[in-house]
Every structure is written in C-alpha cells, then in structure tokens.
Structure 1
Amino acid sequence: MWTNVVSPSQPRWQGRLCHKSASGSRWSTGPQADQDKVEFLEELLHFRNSAAGPWMLCGDFNMIYRAEDKSNDRLDRRCMRRFRAFLDAAELEELHLIGRRFTWSATLERLDRLFASAGWLEAHPNHVLRALSTDCSDHCPLLLSMNVLPWAKKRFRFEPYWLKLPGFLEVVATTWSAVTPQNFLF
C-alpha cells in the first residue's frame, strides 16, 4: 500500500515522488532534457536530505552512471558524472539486479533502478531484485522480494562515500586486525 504522495514544490520534470512511510521507499520518473535532469537530481537530493532514516529510491531515471549500462559507446559522460555525484552525496547504493542487463529495450540501456541507503540495506538484508519480462512495454518491470532466504555468499561492495563516514578507518583497522578462526573457509 503506497501512502503519502510527495510532489515537488515547483516540479520542472514530469513525474512525482511517492513513499511508503514504514520503509522510506520512494518512486521516481526522471526527465529527458539535460537541464531538467540537473534540477531533478537536486530535488531528489533535497528530499533525501530532509528524510532521515532508511531510504530506498526506485524508478526510471532516464540516466546511467556507468558505461556498461548502455549497449553502445554514445555516452553523456557529464550526465553520468552528475548522476554518480548525486548517488555519492545521497549515500545510496544500487541493489543488484538479477535476470537482465538492460531494463529498456528500445536502445538497450539500464534506466530502471533501485537504490537504497545503508540503513535500508541493514534493515532488509535478504532482498532480491529481479527483472521480469513484459510484452506491453519497452521497459521491463522490476520485482523486489523481501525476506528471501539467502542462497549464496553476498558480494563484496565498496562505495566511495564510505570514506567520508565518521569512524570508517577505525572500523576497517579493527576488522583487519581481528583474528580469523582456523577453520574459516572462503
């Protein structure tokens, strides 16, 4: 059940933000014009900074932040840097997608995504994000399943913004100096 529709005060882009109050989830649809994308990311960052606690953001962003998210080499690197800078500033990580590399079949790009804060990922460690098939849209629907029993070892992740968090270096130093049991297998 979606509640609490949140609309930007002066929207310049087509779309709206919604959130599920219990988990902090938000839905977005990104604009297509370059200047609108800048304003869209600024608006999202404003929402992120005003919403404390666990946070999840999902939608069709109409932007990529990695070259491998597109099937050709026609890349808007300035827009990619802006999107990556937004993700770093908002301290969001992308949820791993299973089942499909690209989510938009018109040009084979990955535009539809889910991002979450560290707090959300800690609160929902056993989630699975899958791409579904569709015959009625050029975007594939994404299915987020919660409380799924883990079946494989989790992947290592590192996000650049972690370096800015207070106490990061101390946690790393403590972890690296911890004694590993003799029977620990990788």
Structure 2
Amino acid sequence: MVVKWWCKKHLIATIMRYNDSNNLILIVNVYAPQQEYIKKVVWSQLTRIARNWPGPLCFLGDFNAVCSPEERLREIIDFNSIDSFNNFISNAGLIDQLLVNDEFTWEGPLGKFSKIDRVFINAHWANLWPNAILQSGQPDKSDHKPIIWGEKLCY
C-alpha cells in the first residue's frame, strides 16, 4: 500500500507499507540526465535520501552511467563519469543487484551497448529478500530492456 510519494526532476519516490504491517520500504525510480554536472546533483540528492532512510530502500531505473568500461561496448568511455558514479554508490551505501542473464540493458545504433539501467538496494532490503534475483527481459517498444526483479527466473 502506498503511504506517500513525491516527484522531483529525475526521480519519483514512493514509500510503501508491505505485508500488511507497519514496516515501510522506499522505492525511488530514477531517470538520470546525460549531462555529467547534472548527474552529480542527482547523485547528491540520492545519497542524502539513502543516508536518511532508516529501512529497506531500492533505487532503480535509467542511471545513464556505468560502473566500469566493460559495461559499454562501442561507446566512448568517460572515466571521470565512472569514478563519480562509483563514488555515489559507495557513499550512499548501495548494493548493485547483478543481472543474471545479460551484460547490457540498452542497445543503441551501430551496435552500441551499455548497462545503464540498474537496481540498487541497501542492506535492509537485501536482508528482507536474500534470494531475490534480477534479470532482463526482451525490449518491446524501447531501446532499453525491461528489468524483472523476483525470487524465480522468468525464462
């Protein structure tokens, strides 16, 4: 059940009550900008949210950033952007949920590939759902693959 939600540029946050209890979780859907200087503002906002939220939290969406050069194929690698993104992940205390069935989530023109769509959780979330896995589906009308989170594979 949704308890509260709010929107800011580049994110939609939802606080939900789960399992008909008083336990609350926070889910933040992110659409990060492409401009690096604006991304840093978003990383700062998300870090503040993560540090101040006392329970399970999940950040998911299109981060328009990668954690390593291997997560981009046939694209320009911006090492400063990679460092900034990894610093955000570390400073916010996030865990990167790994895809079990794919390396990339976005396919662009001329055979370009990136892993820019992600799911990050904190330790509270990981403790609630220790067996959860993440997999990508097949794109329908988008150049992004849908991400499916659950406890069973959906092949």
Q: Secondary structure at the match of 1:28?
A: strand
Equivalent pairs: percent with the same residue? 24
Describe how 1:6-45 pairs up with structure 2 within 5 A.
6-8=6-8, 11=9, 15-22=10-17, 23-45=25-47
Equivalent residue, structure 2, for 1:71: 73
Please report how far the alpha carbon of residue 74 of structure 1 lies from its aligned counterpart in structure 2 after TM superposition.
Answer: 2.2
Regions of 4+ moved over 6 Å: none
Q: Distance in 2 between matches of 1:111 and 1:2?
A: 27
> Is residue 2:127 matched to residue 1:132?
no
Question: Which residue type is aligned with residue 104 of structure 1?
Answer: W
Describe how 1:30-109 pairs up with structure 2 within 5 A.
30-72=32-74, 74-106=76-108, 107-109=112-114
Summarize deviations over 1:11-60 as a string: whole Å, max 9, x none.
4xxx3222242332221110111111111111111211221122111010
Q: Which has the higher contact order (CA 8 A, sep 6+)?
A: 2
Please report how far the alpha carbon of residue 118 of structure 1 lies from its aligned counterpart in structure 2 after TM superposition.
Answer: 1.2
Equivalent residue, structure 1, for 2:21: none
Q: Whose radius of gyration is greater, 1 or 2?
A: 1
**TM-score by structure 2 length?**
0.84
Cα 1:80/1:2, change in 2 over 3 Å: farther
Q: Secondary structure at the match of 2:73?
A: coil
Summarize deviations over 1:48-77 as a string: whole Å, max 9, x none.
122112211101000111111111362111
**TM-score by structure 1 length?**
0.71
Q: Secondary structure at the match of 2:105?
A: coil
More strand by share: 2
Paired residues in the alignment total: 143
Q: CA RMSD in A?
A: 1.9
Question: Which residue type is aligned with residue 16 of structure 1?
Answer: L
Q: Secondary structure at the match of 1:97?
A: coil
Q: Distance in 2 between matches of 1:3 and 1:71?
A: 41
Cα 1:128/1:137, change in 2 over 3 Å: same
Q: Distance in 2 between matches of 1:86 and 1:40?
A: 10
